[in-house]
Structure 1
Amino acid sequence: MLTFVRSHPLLVAVHVLGLLVAMRVLVTRRAPQSLMAWLLALIFAPWAAIPLYFLLGGRKFPRGAKGKQAPLLAPAARAELPEGHRAADVPRVLRTEGVPGVRAGNAFQLLGTGEEAYKALLGAIGAAARSVDLTVFILGNDEVGASIVSALATRARAGVRVRLLLDAVGSRPILSRARQELGAAGGEVRSFMPLLHAPVRGRSNLRSHRKIAVFDGHRVFLGGMNMALEYMGPTPRTGRWRDVACLVDGPVAADAAQLFAADWAFAGKEDPVRVAEVPPAAGEAVVQLVPSGPEMATDTFYDALVTALYAARSHVACVTPYYVPDDVVQHAFVLCARRGVRTEMVMPAVSNHLLADKARRGLLPELAEAGVVFHWFGGMVHGKAMVVDETVAYIGSPNLDMRSFFLNYEDALLLYSPPEIAAVRGWIEWLSAECPPTLAPPTRRRWLIDDIARLLAPEL
């Protein structure tokens, strides 16, 4: 044995390291498909799997970085849902996970088209008097991205503090241009999680999928829309993706400002600063901002989603561009339909991601057999929204897939007040009405390709 070790030290080292990595994979909460993919790779291709794990495989921060954000989320002015509210379990679960609490006193405006969202975003930038903090996954290297950078530069030249945080992968094409133009105007630009960075500061596979803009600390724009021509613009455009966002004034802006401050500090390798100011009430909407991602100790959005689905009694309606959940979420939807809850899903018949379409194909028959009603859109739907029983709704950045559940930095806005829930339901019904009843996705099942796609989907 010792002779073999001395003769093959590199081989032994690889297998020992592979064993240690496998133990790490086994004790880290992740989707079964992801677990199986990593274990198979470590068994059959350890030379490739080990460096890939250190580059891509981590899901939560090490102890020194984890929790950086949660303790710093803005406190005070919390609201409680009325006694007996059927969605009360959702904020109750989130309270144990370090999530900002429920905020009352907000003014909520749903932005159901790309034109409405573009107008509201540019208007909010132009009206900002003290600060604009904006983070987005994709800022397009196109006329929309250029107009947003130009608007930010105009405010910076007027003395407004402007900070732009772009995902280093999603916004790579416009990153240098934004740095140059906004920097010359007095603004600041940072990139989130560059591909080359110290492993202790996260993994290249962990992207910031958040879309948040905070204006003067009291107004916030958020939702599922990236800021590019496919998603928004000044005028209607043939083939524009269907998406949804919102503009909210009031106390919840403090939580959005704190979330941005923590991400900004992380990107700049700084200590985050607590946001002290909580804006006064501006309306009657009762909402809750739910950040999720590697910096949170638990999977907050996932837990809120599962809690809401198991509490559903009459109706669930959701919109998602990609449907590749784990078995728990899949079973929750199945049980909703089986126990008589009318369960509807709006998705694109063919999305812009072939792998996601193949991965979802094996999940659809079980949902259909349980009684789930599908509405298939003929173009691309990128919106992410859900309504449960008129008691809770959400819009935000997470897709119903394992990357959003377990890997990406995401944010969702939960809505607990009837007018806001009705607004989301109205948008979903409007979108459903535009889905041809005869349209359906390709149904031919290629077992090997589809199953491999689902196995790989959590990590891609």
Structure 2
Amino acid sequence: MSPLLFLLYFFNVMAAISILFFRKKQVGSTLAWLLVFAFVPWLGFLLYFFLGSTRKLRLFRRRFRPNPRLAEYGPSPGENARALLSGQFNLSSQGREGCRDLMLLNLQGAGAVYTQGNSARLLVDAEKKYESLFRDIEEAQETIHVLYFIFKTRDECGRKLLDLLVKKARQGVKVRVIYDTLGCFKTHKADFDPLLGAGGMVYGYLPSPLRTVLQVNYRMHRKMVIIDGKVAYTGGINIGDDYLGKDRRITPWRDTSVRLTGPCVQQVQRQFIRDWVFLDSQAARPYVDKIDSSQSLEQCMKEENTGQVGVQIVSSGPDSLYPYTKESYLGMITRARRYLYIQTPYFIPDDALLTALRCASRAGVDVRLMIPGVADKAYAYHVTMWHAGELLRWGIPVYRYPGFLHAKTFVMDDMVASIGSTNLDIRSFDLDYELNALVYDRDFALECRKVFLQDQEKSRRLTREEYQSRPLPDKVKAGLLRLVAPLL
């Protein structure tokens, strides 16, 4: 045996031991990786290093922590928890009285500070989102922070946004942009030259080609814009003409975003600062003009209450100790008493989520799932359909939207709605950086429920007969591809 093969075999065994005893993931994922090590012993370690392990990323990110003074601005999770437990927040209005335990779950896990005095506006398509976003950017006076998984600079809407950012940068507004280098593989760094020339700052995740290769399986999947510390946007909508339904292969396109104002904007700003500091700290040529985290958060704190809405911003990623967005979804599923309506483009859950959905349905909760009727990824479609069959066996309705449904929304009991970037799949929970806004407000939840029911009227309910009569090749693909999902 050559020294190289011996070394690979040694690392293969060590990786197997690490997975078996130290990996905090579902059993299915652990067993799947052990099978890879058994059948491809020379390549198993390399595959796991590039595609499965998150330990190296956690160690890497610890070297580049944001300014520790971030904790000085706004309430700490501990203070916020004490305020919730002591009754300092008035939760008796707008349907929040039954959500205290959900708030504490997100707070004590993800550190998601709960705020009141916010406003939230639902945006149910890209046209409405872009119109509102561009108007707010036009009025920016101090800062514009932009982070998108996909930023198609050569599409019409991408060019319009880029031109607008260039204009504001020339006016002296601090413009910072983060985009995912693989999510935007058709976007070139040179496309941002006009913005850089105007004084704007741009980072791709990840800016270093070597580090991109080493972390190729982790994606910056968040979508957020923060303007002057006053307005924040998040949800499922990226920047591209296909989100406007202009891609003939995937149309119509249905998506959801939310516009937030009030104290919760500080929490979105805080996450952007963390992401920016991480990228800035590892860049080969970091910007001289550093982000002033204290000034950015003080800017948010000066804003007065803009409404009566309660909001939590829940973030997670491959560097998180636990999948906090998944825990948030589980919290909603297990606390639902009357109904739970879910929209997701990809339904690739683990056993915990499937069990929670089954138990909720058996307990009398009206659980409904809506998935796309038009697929954008064949792999995800087949695995989604396999898991949809599980729900059908338990009597849970599954609806197929007549187009591509990209919204990632949960609405529960006229009390709370979650809108964000997190798909209901294993990749989003373990390997992608995600951000969700949980909105605690009866009127907002009722609006989300109304939108779901309107989409349901357009959709086609999947029957067990239709599901079982799928072509044999589709059944085979679904059965085989579902085995790959836990590897991610």
User: Is the structural similarity TM-score above 0.5?
Assistant: yes
Q: Tell me the equivalent position of 1:225.
A: 237
Q: Tell me the equivalent position of 2:410.
A: 386
Q: Residue 407 of structure 2 aligns to a residue in which SS?
A: coil
Q: Residue 247 of structure 1 aligns to a residue in which SS?
A: strand
Q: Tell me the equivalent position of 2:159.
A: 146
Structure 1 residue corresponding to 2:429, chosen from 405, 430, 448: 405
Q: Residue 230 of structure 1 aligns to a residue in which SS?
A: helix
Q: Tell me the equivalent position of 1:455.
A: 483
Gaps of 5+ in 1: 1-6
Would you say the 8 A contact 2:54–2:319 is kept in 1? no
Decide which moves more: 63-72 or 360-369. 63-72
Q: Partner letter of residue 30 of structure 1? A: K
Report the identity percentage.
Answer: 28
Q: Tell me the equivalent position of 2:326.
A: 302
Q: Partner letter of residue 301 of structure 1? A: T
Deviations 1:321-340 (A, max 9, x none): 11001011011111111111
Whole-Å separation in 2 of the counterparts to 1:341 and 1:434: 23
TM-score (norm 2): 0.86
Structure 2 residue corresponding to 1:276, chosen from 290, 293, 297: 297
Q: Tell me the equivalent position of 1:3.
A: none
TM-score (norm 1): 0.90
Q: Tell me the equivalent position of 1:11.
A: 5
What is the CA distance between 1:412 and its match in structure 2?
0.3
Q: Residue 283 of structure 1 aligns to a residue in which SS?
A: coil
Does residue 1:170 correspond to 2:183, yes or no? yes
Whole-Å separation in 2 of the counterparts to 1:52 and 1:444: 32
What is the CA distance between 1:255 and its match in structure 2?
0.7
Does residue 1:155 correspond to 2:168, yes or no? yes
Map 1:232-247 onto structure 2 (within 5 A).
232=244, 239-247=251-259
Would you say the 8 A contact 1:111–1:244 is kept in 2? yes
Would you say the 8 A contact 1:32–1:326 is kept in 2? no
Q: Residue 121 of structure 2 aligns to a residue in which SS?
A: strand
Whole-Å separation in 2 of the counterparts to 1:423 and 1:195: 43
Would you say the 8 A contact 2:58–2:319 is kept in 1? no
What is the CA distance between 1:121 and its match in structure 2?
1.3
Residues 254, 344 of structure 1: alpha-carbon distance in 2 compared, 3 angstrom cutoff: same
Residues 238, 298 of structure 1: alpha-carbon distance in 2 compared, 3 angstrom cutoff: closer
What is the CA distance between 1:238 and its match in structure 2?
9.3
Whole-Å separation in 2 of the counterparts to 1:434 and 1:70: 49
Deviations 1:121-174 (A, max 9, x none): 111111111110000000123111111111111111111110110001112322
Whole-Å separation in 1 of the counterparts to 2:214 and 2:155: 30
Whole-Å separation in 2 of the counterparts to 1:222 and 1:457: 27
Q: Partner letter of residue 443 of structure 1? A: R
Q: Partner letter of residue 172 of structure 1? A: F
Whole-Å separation in 2 of the counterparts to 1:117 and 1:145: 13
Whole-Å separation in 2 of the counterparts to 1:445 and 1:337: 30
What is the CA distance between 1:40 and its match in structure 2?
1.8
Q: Tell me the equivalent position of 2:48.
A: 53
Residues 118, 103 of structure 1: alpha-carbon distance in 2 compared, 3 angstrom cutoff: same
Q: Tell me the equivalent position of 1:425.
A: 449
What is the CA distance between 1:419 and its match in structure 2?
1.4
Whole-Å separation in 2 of the counterparts to 1:192 and 1:239: 29
What is the CA distance between 1:359 and its match in structure 2?
1.2
Would you say the 8 A contact 1:169–1:194 is kept in 2? no
Would you say the 8 A contact 2:58–2:320 is kept in 1? no
Whole-Å separation in 2 of the counterparts to 1:459 and 1:183: 39
**Alignment length (residue pairs):** 452
Decide which moves more: 418-427 or 243-252. 418-427
Structure number with higher helix proportion = 2
Structure 1 residue corresponding to 2:218, chosen from 206, 219, 243: 206
Q: Partner letter of residue 353 of structure 1? A: K
Q: Partner letter of residue 65 of structure 1? A: R
Decide which moves more: 436-445 or 304-313. 436-445
What is the CA distance between 1:98 and its match in structure 2?
4.3
Q: Tell me the equivalent position of 2:470.
A: 443
Map 1:346-365 onto structure 2 (within 5 A).
346-365=370-389
Would you say the 8 A contact 2:250–2:376 is kept in 1? no
What is the CA distance between 1:33 and its match in structure 2?
3.8
Q: Partner letter of residue 232 of structure 2? A: V
Would you say the 8 A contact 2:388–2:398 is kept in 1? no
Does residue 1:76 correspond to 2:75, yes or no? yes
Q: Tell me the equivalent position of 1:329.
A: 353
Whole-Å separation in 2 of the counterparts to 1:197 and 1:186: 27
Deviations 1:369-418 (A, max 9, x none): 22211221121010110111122210000010001111100000001111
* Root-mean-square deviation over aligned CA pairs: 2.8
Whole-Å separation in 2 of the counterparts to 1:96 and 1:107: 24
What is the CA distance between 1:211 and its match in structure 2?
0.4
Would you say the 8 A contact 1:179–1:189 is kept in 2? yes
Whole-Å separation in 2 of the counterparts to 1:354 and 1:217: 40
Whole-Å separation in 2 of the counterparts to 1:193 and 1:294: 14
Does residue 1:38 correspond to 2:66, yes or no? no
Would you say the 8 A contact 2:119–2:306 is kept in 1? yes
Whole-Å separation in 1 of the counterparts to 2:471 and 2:180: 36
What is the CA distance between 1:459 and its match in structure 2?
4.7
Whole-Å separation in 2 of the counterparts to 1:63 and 1:96: 22
Decide which moves more: 16-25 or 397-406. 16-25
What is the CA distance between 1:178 and its match in structure 2?
3.3
Deviations 1:312-371 (A, max 9, x none): 111010100110010110111111111111111111123211111211233223211222
Decide which moves more: 341-350 or 154-163. 341-350
Q: Tell me the equivalent position of 1:62.
A: 58
Q: Tell me the equivalent position of 2:260.
A: 248
Gaps of 5+ in 2: 283-289
Structure 2 residue corresponding to 1:92, chosen from 95, 104, 107: 104
Would you say the 8 A contact 1:144–1:233 is kept in 2? no
Q: Residue 281 of structure 2 aligns to a residue in which SS?
A: coil
What is the CA distance between 1:303 and its match in structure 2?
0.9
Whole-Å separation in 2 of the counterparts to 1:276 and 1:226: 25
Would you say the 8 A contact 2:169–2:199 is kept in 1? yes
What is the CA distance between 1:9 and its match in structure 2?
3.4
